[in-house]
Structure 1
Amino acid sequence: MFKVSKTDSRRTRIKNVAGITMGNAIEFYDFGIYTVFAVLLGKLYFPAESDFAKLLLTFATIGVGFITRPLGAVCIGLYADKYGRKPALLLTLALMGLGTLIFVFTPTYQTIGIAAPILIISARLIQGFSLGGELGSSTAMLMEYADKNNRAFYGSWQMFGQNLNKLLASLIGGILGLLLSEESLSLWGWRVAFAVGLIIIPIALYIRRNLPETKEENANEGQEKAILKELFQDHIKTLIAGVLIILGVTASTYIIAYYMANYAATQLKIDFKYTVWAVTVSGIVQVILSPFFGILTDKIGRKPMLFWSRVGITLFIYPAFLLINKYPEPYMLFIVVGILAFFLCANGIASIVLCAEIFPSRIRATGLSISYSFTVMIFGGFAQFFVTLLIGWTDNPLSPSFYVIVTGLISMIALLLVKETAGKELE
């Protein structure tokens, strides 16, 4: 089924993996930069009577970007399984660029009124549709370059790209926060951060256009219904397992890597110019460790890596929130985020690789995209909204940790539904 040659030179494979990873990082950067400036954008585009209501509107808009992910997962996933991974990845980049363009040029609520939040929400919907098909297509392509002994290593570059986006987004946000006054940051500084991703997209498009395809042309042409029928009829157990696998890692990711910075700013009143660097710490840890955890996952197996990393997150998440509440200082925030990022990196790689491997190659992009996007839409995109509500209802500042613990424990059920895939030939 695959066109990629197993005898390709090392240099060619490095170039191909770098091309996929760069495009993936840019996609997630353009989508994730909104989270870095979420509190600021809430003030500019979502006026409300109280700070709590404004915060809920802001986090709800983060979640809106995930609503169209399942639709993108189905449409672009089918497109990737029918026509190939490369055209699907070119399409996702183009759509992401369109959404980012709207962000860069949309005036604030004070200037154009209700049209401002409508345009921002529209941009988030377009970006969500794009990202819905990105992960499945790019992960499938990465792993289809590999053999049975190094699939996790190749798949780890998917997580490397995602974490590189967090690193870039937080670095740019942090630098702007240090260099600009609060007024300048609100007036135009945040737009610079979005424009950076917009400028790089043409470069990523050029690189992706020159990638070799990993799927035979027309292998599934005209078979969209057959792909969906096979997925939901013959692989429903696999699909459920995929959703459970992604559940734990996505809830943890959006709380640890993103929400804790916003939590520190809104709940602990730590200045934004410090809290934004918490995302940087998470990004640095995971960018450095991703390839190493990929190699380790190939050696010890997907299920052991997923299990023990999940145990680490579950045991440490409550003490982490306890510590930053007892010592509401930037240094403590950085320490707990760095420790959690260690476990999160291992869990993310094992989760994504295992979820991709349990689906047959002919439906892999669709199966992984749907498993990922539906789960991320509910438990990732609205995670910050849910835990903000949870704090409001319980008046317990530690309650976000309960969300991570419960979703993580539920996700462990997946280990009972799948077999170990490390070192085995895939269908």
Structure 2
Amino acid sequence: MGKGDTQASELRKTVVATSLVSGLETFDFTVFGFFAVMIGDQFFPAEDPLTSLLLAVGTFGVGFLIRPLGAMMIGAYADRVGRRAAMTRTIVLMTIGTAAIALCPPFAMIGAAAPLIVIIGRALQGFAVGGEIGVAATYVMEAGPVSSRGRVVSWQFVSQGAAALLGASLGALLTKVMSPEDLASWGWRVPFLIGLLIAPVGIYVRRQLREAPLVDTKGRDAATPLAELWREHRRTMLLAILIRMGPTIPVYVIVYYMPSYLHRVMHVPAITGFLSSTVSALLLTVIPPLSGLLIDRLPRRKPLALFTAGCTVLLVFPVFLMIVRADGTLPVLVGVGLISAMVALGAAVGSLLVLEAFPARVRASGAAISHALNAALFGGTAQFIVTGMIKLTGNPMSAAWYMAATCLLSFGAVVLIKEQRPQA
């Protein structure tokens, strides 16, 4: 086997290893959103079902609020000690948090201790995934040549889409084969128990990776890369957060919140919501590799980012009108599919613009923190804000108002960021 074949084989192994474990961690973290209605009834009982859901999606947001802390600590560790070492530590934390949620007795059995345990488990999940996503994307991007960065980074989004697809498919399957009573009582725990596979699988896979040599840290603050980020890259951090907001809010509203939205707000059968999330997740899994191939062939990446961000803004209101006025399942699936396709096409190119905007010596920290702050400010709060707006206004189109405004702001950030594409 020649040197080129060996390098290609090593790159494939790196992409598979990082994507597989990132996908497992994403599954563990996000499956909470699919079963928010059941979790709300089990751990946050209230006379008003919408209030119960509001408390559940609020707890969903706790994991996002803690993500910046995990990103700062794990990202800085990755820049100081190594990417692989940092990624390995996220596995144990995610496993503990997922187990706490999966095995916690309901409120009816242990009272106020139940929601407290769930909140702590959710916080541990958030801490772990806060460092994982940015560090993993940095590791895999740096592992390959510049000419293949679109392809390798796109697989991070494939793994996240596959995690959503698995969660939505499990939701649809459990809804189909279980009675509503059993699903609400214990069936919702099954995906969390499956997610505990992250411990043995993740540790084995991560041990197969090589630790990349650390870049030259000369001139960087001796204590932490965070000081340099604040001193020299504040504008880049702000733009990175806003750029990532563009795909984040549609994903958490269209993919993860849609089962709860359709069932609790639009009063359609639960299976319709899970089917819509399955379609969205399938597109988020299939399209990114094609997008990655396109990215590597383009002389400039920014025009593709502008196109996808602009189309997302323009699609929001028509899609929600289709959903709200739908008299069957097909219009819902078409609507969520349109938004999901645009998000899937633009996610990798937006991520590359952000990753390459940071110098290598602080890249893991910059990528992790900007991603985590975006998730905390916009991803974790999206379901809570949308639910609150619907409850306040009584108008299911409130979700479209929020999505359109935030996606427009993200489009503006894409306009302002400077493309820093290194030469191959």
TM-score (normalised: structure 1): 0.94
Measure how far apart 1:40 and its partner are. 0.9
1:384 aligns with 2:383: yes
1:347 CA displacement: 2.1
* Residue 421 of structure 1 pairs with residue 420 of structure 2: yes
Gaps of 5+ in 2: none
Match of 2:279?
281
Matched residue SS, 2:262:
helix
Which residue does 2:46 correspond to in 1? 48
Q: Aligned-pair distance for 1:310?
A: 1.2
The question of 1:28 aligning with 2:2 is answered no
CA offset digits 1:154-182 (Å, max 9, x no partner)? 11111111111001111112111111111
2-side partners of 1:167 and 1:92: how far apart? 22
- 1:368 equivalenced with 2:367 (yes/no): yes
Q: Pick from 156, 169, 172 the counterpart of residue 174 of structure 1.
A: 172
Match of 1:313 in 2: 312
Q: Percent identity over the alignment? A: 35
Preserved CA contact (<8 Å) 2:150 2:292: yes
CA–CA separation in structure 2 for the residues paired with 1:224 and 1:333: 53
User: Larger deviation: 53-62 or 179-188?
Assistant: 179-188
8 Å contact kept, 1:82–1:218:
no
The change in CA–CA distance for 1:252 and 1:290 in structure 2 (over 3 A counts) is same
The structure-2 alpha-carbon separation of the partners of 1:129 and 1:418, relative to structure 1 and needing over 3 Å to count, comes to same
Judge conservation of contact 2:31–2:192 (CA < 8 Å) in 1: yes
- Mapped partners of 2:224, 2:5: distance in 1: 32
**Corresponding position of 1:322:** 321
Contact 2:64–2:126 (CA<8 Å) still a contact in 1?
Answer: yes
CA-to-aligned-CA distance 1:233-265 (integer Å, 9 cap, x gap)? 011121111112112221222112222232111
Name the CA distance, whole Å, in 2 between partners of 1:256 and 1:117. 26
Q: 1:46 to 1:358 in 2, by over 3 A?
A: same
**1:121-160 counterparts in 2 under 5 A?**
121-160=119-158
For residue 212 of structure 1, the aligned residue among 210, 213, 228 is: 210
Could you tell me which residue of structure 2 aligns to residue 113 of structure 1? 111
| 181-190 or 74-83: bigger deviation | 181-190
Shift of 1:225: 3.2
Quickly say closer, same or farther: Cα 1:207–1:356, change in 2 above 3 A. same
The correspondence for 1:267, drawn from 248, 265, 268, is 265
CA RMSD of aligned residues (A): 2.0
Structure 1: how far apart are the matches of 2:222 and 2:324?
Answer: 51
Deviation per residue, 1:262-313 (Å, 9 max, x gap):
2111111111123112111111112111111011122233311111111111
The answer (yes or no) to whether the contact 1:28–1:165 under 8 Å persists in 2 is yes
90-99 or 6-15, which moves further after superposition?
A: 6-15
Query: Any conservation in 1 of the 2:317–2:400 contact (CA below 8 Å)?
Result: yes
Separation (CA, whole Å) in 2 of partners of 1:122 and 1:224: 33
Report SS of the residue matched to 1:309: helix
In the alignment, the residues of structure 1 paired with residue 414 and residue 187 of structure 2 have an alpha-carbon distance, to the nearest angstrom, of 46
Aligned length: 421
Distance of aligned partners of 1:242 and 1:16 in 2 relative to their CA distance in 1, 3 Å threshold: same
How far apart in 2 are the matches of 1:348 and 1:34? Answer: 22
* Deviation, structure 1 residue 52: 2.1
SS in structure 1 at match of 2:146: coil
The range that moved more, 231-240 or 389-398, is 389-398
* Superposition deviation, residue 23 in structure 1: 0.1
SS at 2:147's partner residue?
coil
User: Any idea what the Cα deviations from partners look like across 1:69-90, whole Å, max 9, x if unmatched?
Assistant: 0000100000111111111111
Residue pair 1:83, 1:217 contacting (<8 A) in 2 also: no
Q: Quick one: distance in 2 between partners of 1:189 and 1:224?
A: 50
Moved over 6 A (4+): none
Deviations, residues 96-139 of structure 1 (Å, cap 9, x unaligned) = 00001111210000010000000000000000000110111100
Q: After TM superposition, give the deviation of residue 47 of structure 1 in Å.
A: 1.1
Q: Which moved more, 1:290-299 or 1:28-37?
A: 290-299
Judging changes above 3 Å, is the alpha-carbon distance between structure 1 residues 328 and 132 closer, same or farther for their aligned structure 2 residues?
farther
* 2:50 paired with 1:14: no
- Counterparts of 2:4 and 2:137 in 1: how far apart (Å)? 17
Task: Please name the residue that 1:102 is paired with.
Answer: 100
Q: Which residue of 1 aligns with 2:239?
A: 241
Distance 1:330 1:215, change over 3 A: farther
Superposed displacement of residue 224, structure 1 = 6.1
